[in-house]
A and B are shown apart, each in its own frame.
Chain A
Amino acid sequence: MPATTDPAITLEGVGKEFALRRGAAVRALDGLDLEVGHGEFVALLGPSGCGKSTVLRLVAGLDEPTTGTVRVEGAAPAELVRTHRLGVAFQEHALLPWASARANVALPFRVAGRPVDHARVTELLELVGLTGFADARPRQLSGGMRQRVAIARALALEPDVLLLDEPFGALDAVTRRRMNLELARIWAEQRITTLLVTHDVAEAVLLADRVVVMSGRPGRVRHIAHVDIPRPRDTAVTREAGFHELVDQLTGLLDEPAPVGAAG
């Protein structure tokens, strides 16, 4: 990790418009400012369609902002992508169905043209609790197991920045909560700069150091909450009063219509 005080991820005055038919455009983001520090876990919380996934795609270099700048580790996202220093996991696991769990976790090495570090792959499979399933193909795994493989894959090259877009969004509530706790444990061991996009308030509070609540259409930062729950966080945390207070407060913010001109 670079020894600078600059944030790991910086979004400054970011706006994003998507062209519709007949020259019309929809403004997904408008004047969005956001910073994520080194080794910080930030959750981007908002209702569906508020542009939070767009923020993640901008940071991943999958889309270009219409206005403003996006910097990751002091450079354009494309630079980080080019040097294979970005890890990503989406709601759709996007595993390769013809490859075993082990081969899927090893994929980033192959894509980067590096020799596969088999010890690292084994260690990651162990980290996500899939040691016995290394040779299983994705269709032989449960939904939760597939997402764990996807997260192990995202961690394979020890990325500088980890981007998670609703990684457990397709799972049932029970599996989802268990995966949240798993991710909290995994993250506590790795401490990688992480940006998580979610609409699940409890998930955001359980995992993040800071929760950024967005309002939609166009997407802006509405509120930032610091989560002061000590790590490692486990099931006991979810039963504490402080946890529920914060969850309730943030849920309230999601429900209310945004006040005019609200930001930060």
Chain B
Amino acid sequence: MTALPAVRPRSGPLLAATGLVLLAGAVELVGRLGLAGPGWPPLLRVLGYVGTPSAQALLGRALAATGGAALIGFLAGAVVALAVAVLGAVVPALDPGLGRLAAVVNAIPLIALGPLLITTAGRDATPTLVAALATAFAVFVAATSAMAAASAAQRDVFAVLGAGRATTLLRLQLPAGLPLVVDGLMLAAPAAVLGAVIGEWFGARRGLGVLLVSAMQNVQVELLWAAGLASSALALGGYLVLLGVRRIVGRRFT
């Protein structure tokens, strides 16, 4: 959602809106002229479809299911990742091992994990679990560097004042690292939506992922695009909420 690069880099709501309108206009034009074939409808036709009551009911249910799975997965993944990062900070001997474990887990493609989770955790839990996995790595990486965000001089002051490990964690490392943790959450929010959608592909009962697969197989072009737009809106919404949190945290903690 960024504007085209201007001569001098500028930003602002007006430029963002301009970029959005230009992008939407281009999408509409490609659809109107049929440049990309029948699979790319004009944007206004997709929006017209979204306006119908039946489509709204369908998309609403799917959005609620995917949003719920993404949110719960996001929260669970973030909590687990933060706990593991804090454990690594409190027990330094564990730190390198935890980092490698996280890298290995992240190296397994979520696509490959999907079927495995369906057979073990079940089709209802899979979207949430994949969302949690997608979130956890981003948050873990951010939280690990966040634990080291305090300056050497600040650590020295705490050491000389006789601060224990728990005190240093609570009064220095966590507050100093909070902005970085929120940065990680910001990256993880769209990843959680993506994870939930991927999880739904493998046979969930409802959700945007289910709609995407069935619309694709049944050549329901408007539904396919509507589901895609709904997923994007969900991911963007999560990102924007955390952007707001980031601003507040940035003001308070730096």
Residue A163 CB within 8 A of the other chain: yes
- A32 vs B244: C-alpha distance when bound (angstroms): 56
Please tell me which one of the listed residues B162, B172, B252 contacts residue A81 in the complex, with CB atoms under 8 A apart: B162
Contacts A96-B175, A98-B175 given; does A83 touch B162 at CB 8 Å: yes
Chain A residues contacting B163 (CB-CB under 8 Å) are 111
Residue B40 CB within 8 A of the other chain: no
Contact A98 B156 (CB under 8 A): no
Please tell me which one of the listed residues A83, A84, A96, A163 contacts residue B154 in the complex, with CB atoms under 8 A apart: A96
Contact A86 B162 (CB under 8 A): yes
Chain A residues contacting B151 (CB-CB under 8 Å) are 92, 94
CB pairs A–B below 8 angstroms (16 shown)? A61-B160, A84-B161, A87-B160, A88-B156, A88-B157, A88-B161, A90-B156, A92-B153, A94-B151, A94-B153, A97-B254, A98-B175, A110-B167, A111-B171, A112-B161, A153-B157
Residue of A nearest to B249 (CB): A98
Residue A206 CB within 8 A of the other chain: no
Total number of B residues with any Cβ neighbor in A under 8 Å: 19
Residue A60 CB within 8 A of the other chain: yes
- A87 vs B162: C-alpha distance when bound (angstroms): 10
The listed residue with most A CB atoms (<10 A of its CB), out of B157, B176, B253, is: B157
B135-170 at interface with A (beta carbon < 8 Å): 151, 153-154, 156-163, 167
- A132 vs B161: C-alpha distance when bound (angstroms): 26
Task: Indicate the size class of the contact surface on chain A.
Answer: 20 to 34
Instruction: State how many angstroms separate the Cβ of A17 from the closest Cβ of chain B.
Output: 20
The listed residue with most A CB atoms (<10 A of its CB), out of B151, B160, B175, is: B160
Contacts A84-B161, A98-B253 given; does A107 touch B156 at CB 8 Å: no
Residue A68 CB within 8 A of the other chain: no
* Contacts A92-B153, A94-B157 known; 12 new A-B pairs at CB < 8 A: A61-B159, A87-B160, A88-B160, A90-B156, A90-B157, A91-B153, A94-B153, A94-B156, A96-B175, A111-B162, A111-B163, A163-B160
Residues 161-194 of chain B: 1 if any A CB is under 8 Å from the residue's CB, otherwise 0? Answer: 1110001000110011000000000000000000
5 shortest A-B CB distances, which residue pairs?
A94-B153, A92-B153, A88-B160, A111-B163, A84-B162
Chain A residues contacting B175 (CB-CB under 8 Å) are 96, 98
Please tell me which one of the listed residues A81, A91, A110 contacts residue B159 in the complex, with CB atoms under 8 A apart: A81
Residue A141 CB within 8 A of the other chain: no
Contact A86 B160 (CB under 8 A): yes
- A82 vs B162: C-alpha distance when bound (angstroms): 5
Residues 3-47 of chain A: 1 if any B CB is under 8 Å from the residue's CB, otherwise 0? Answer: 000000000000000000000000000000000000000000000
Residue of B nearest to A94 (CB): B153
Please tell me which one of the listed residues B167, B176, B253, B254 contacts residue A111 in the complex, with CB atoms under 8 A apart: B167
Instruction: State how many angstroms separate the Cβ of A173 from the closest Cβ of chain B.
Output: 22
Residue A108 CB within 8 A of the other chain: yes
- A87 vs B161: C-alpha distance when bound (angstroms): 7
Instruction: State how many angstroms separate the Cβ of A61 from the closest Cβ of chain B.
Output: 7
- A113 vs B167: C-alpha distance when bound (angstroms): 9
